[in-house]
Amino acid sequence: MLQTAEDIRLLNERITHSATFIDKIHDEIGKVIVGQHHMIERLLIGLLSSGHILLEGVPGLAKTLSIKSLAQVINARFSRIQFTPDLLPADVTGTMIYNQQKNEFVVRKGPIFANFILADEINRAPAKVQSALLEAMQERQVTIGNSSYSLDEPFLVLATQNPIEQEGTYPLPEAQVDRFMLKVVIDYPSKSEEQLIIRQNVQGLKTEPLKQVVSTQEILNARELVRHVYMDEKVEHYILDIVFATRYPEKYNLPKLKPLISFGGSPRASINLAFAAKAYAYLNKRGYVVPEDVRNICRDVLRHRISLTYEAEAENVNVEMIIAEIIKTVNVP
């Protein structure tokens, strides 16, 4: 849909006014989280574009605390599920139990019935449990017995996986990995940030409970505005060029990548890249997407959607290198 300059200006004003809660969220979460701005920004992108997030990082980088804090400032229901090899689908979704007084089976809902689901160490659970979670992620509903139950919005699955220890883990199926909008790799804090973390913990400073600074309804309204963020056709083509370069690198002056990529991004990569770029523009209080938004979010959208060949592994080429080469080569509008 074509929009006039006046339409975009009005949309810009609406978004500038609507997005004031973003600063409030950052300020409130900043009371308990030191640094990790990249992770919190990505959590907000997932929240605003209704996309699930896969977090990868070593233990102790405040993944759980960040997600729990975000739930608190929105006053949303939060559930943490520790995934283990002996977990059953019913432990996640819920089950039917027999009520002797009523002489009938009744539904006992599981921890999946919340707004924010932290699936801790998701790759430790067997395939049955992962498929139960997959229905909730994709269909926004859970089936218990013969009935299906809709999940409340906002509904966001934030899964963590430990990149170090691979013993006793079940690799996530490609279909499930593809349903995560972003894969965010979390790095260590800086020296000055870690010094502050040490002081806070050693001195035993007690922080006040986080306050609600935004309602779930405001989040849902913001999601609707994110959909209306203007994206020019040239930016759409830029997104398509990046994704298609992961599938057919030889057509984009990248013939050396052809033997290194087993398969590239699916159409979900294009959809999620567009959504994430719009959400990133919204976070920056803009009513339109610029190519820099796409470049900024590109790695998080693509890193779990590109599969490498044995040749790439033999040459010590990783996905990050492939994406960097594509971004450097594809023409920017």
241-268 tens-digit pLDDT: 999 999 998 988 888 888 888 888 888 8
CA atoms within 13 A on the CB side of 324: 5
The pTM of this model reads 0.86
Dihedral sign of CA atoms 271, 273, 276, 278 in order: negative
Q: Is the pLDDT of residue 165 over 70?
A: no
Dihedral sign of CA atoms 190, 44, 177, 89 in order: positive
pLDDT at 237: 93
pLDDT at 166: 60
Query: DSSP letter at 103?
Result: T
Q: What's the mean per-residue pLDDT of the chain?
A: 84
Q: Is the pLDDT of residue 106 over 90?
A: no
Q: Is the pLDDT of residue 279 over 90?
A: yes
Most distant CA atoms of the chain, gap in Å: 72
Nearest to 133 by CA among 155, 153, 154, 162: 155
Contacts with 257 (C-beta within 8 Å, 6 or more apart), sequence order = 249, 322, 325, 326
CA distance 172 to 126: 9
Helices (H), the chain: 5-18, 20-29, 37-48, 63-74, 89-93, 127-139, 174-178, 191-202, 216-228, 233-247, 267-283, 291-302, 310-314, 319-329
Q: Is the pLDDT of residue 1 over 60?
A: no
pLDDT at 204: 67
- Any idea of the CA torsion for 319, 322, 323, 327, to the nearest 10 degrees? 170
Contacts with 225 (C-beta within 8 Å, 6 or more apart), sequence order = 14, 15, 18, 282
CA distance 296 to 280: 9
pLDDT at 275: 93
DSSP codes joined into one string, 47-82: HHTT-EEEEE--TTSSHHHHHHHHHHHHT--EEEEE
Mean pLDDT in residue range 73-80: 86
CA distance 85 to 108: 22
Contact assessment for residue 150 and residue 109, using Cβ atoms and an 8 Å cutoff? no
Q: Tokens 């074509």 map to which residue? A: 2
Mean pLDDT in residue range 85-98: 84
Q: Cα–chain-centroid distance for residue 92?
A: 20
Domains delineated in the chain: 20-219 (3.40.50.300), 230-329 (1.10.8.80)
**What is the band of 190 on the pLDDT scale with cuts at 50, 70, 90?**
confident
pLDDT at 168: 58
Angle, alpha carbons 193-194-199 (nearest 5°): 100
pLDDT at 32: 80
Coil, helix or strand at residue 185: strand
Q: Is the pLDDT of residue 124 over 60?
A: yes
Mean pLDDT in residue range 132-142: 83
Mean pLDDT in residue range 6-13: 81
Contact assessment for residue 93 and residue 112, using Cβ atoms and an 8 Å cutoff? yes
Contact assessment for residue 226 and residue 280, using Cβ atoms and an 8 Å cutoff? no
CA distance 189 to 58: 12
Over residues 12-69, the pLDDT tens digits come to 888 888 888 888 888 888 888 777 788 888 989 998 988 889 888 777 777 778 888 8
Q: Is the pLDDT of residue 300 over 90?
A: yes
* Choice between 162 and 324, residue whose per-residue pLDDT is larger: 324
CA distance 112 to 79: 7
Mean pLDDT in residue range 329-333: 86
